[in-house]
Amino acid sequence: MGRPKQLVERDGEALITRAAQNLLNLDAIEVIVVTGAENPNILKKLENVPVKIVRNTGWKQGMGGSVATGVRSLTGGLGGVLILLCDQWKVDSGDLELLVQKWQSDISGVFSAKWGDLDDGAFGPPVIFPKRLFSELETLESKRGARGLIRKYWRQVTFVEMENAAFDLDDPEDLKAMRES
């Protein structure tokens, strides 16, 4: 996009701050924000937000490394991890609450957002992975994040309809659409 997505503002709030607040609204045990190239600027946006910040020094290698960094920094005793991307600007606390409620019915499964035809790849974050998959998440290297794990455990994935997850920032056209909404 030519600029850091995390620092793009919506309604006067940086997307990274908005995503963190949405997670905090869930009364999550722990909220971890993984930073990379824009670490100093992101720290400024989160200075009054009670989150744990972890830096992925290998951020150039892709999203998988950021997921791995975040999961490795989790404290013990958690039953699962919810992965949310800050550029999914339309996802709100209600979407995340629904995902968590569904996951609580079977905490051994993977629960992924779905926003269209699965055959077209309309699935992914926000996603909850159970504790039994932490070791695989900790070793991710892929540029596609945890999408490969969703495919690997496809038969154990419950897809939760979440139209808001379809809206993310990948290019200037997406930014324009966000600003016009």
Q: For the chain, give every domain's residue range.
A: 5-180
Buried b or exposed e, range 106-142, using 16+ CB within 10 angstroms: eeebbbbbbbeeeeeeebbbbbbbbbebbebbeebeb
Name the β-bridge partners of 6.
Answer: none
User: What's the pLDDT at 43?
Assistant: 93
- Segment 62-115, tens digit of pLDDT: 889 999 999 999 987 899 999 999 999 999 999 999 999 999 999 999 999 999
Give pLDDT tens digits for 23-68.
999 988 899 999 988 888 999 999 999 999 999 988 888 889 999 9
| Topology of domain 5-180, CATH | Spore Coat Polysaccharide Biosynthesis Protein SpsA; Chain A (3.90.550)
Q: Is the pTM of this model over 0.85?
A: yes
The whole-angstrom separation of Cα 16 and Cα 18 is 5
Which residues, other chains included, contact 117 with Cβ-Cβ below 8 Å and sequence gap of 6+? none
Confidence of residue 1 (pLDDT cuts 50, 70, 90): low
Question: What is the C-alpha separation between 137 and 134, in angstroms, rounded?
Answer: 5
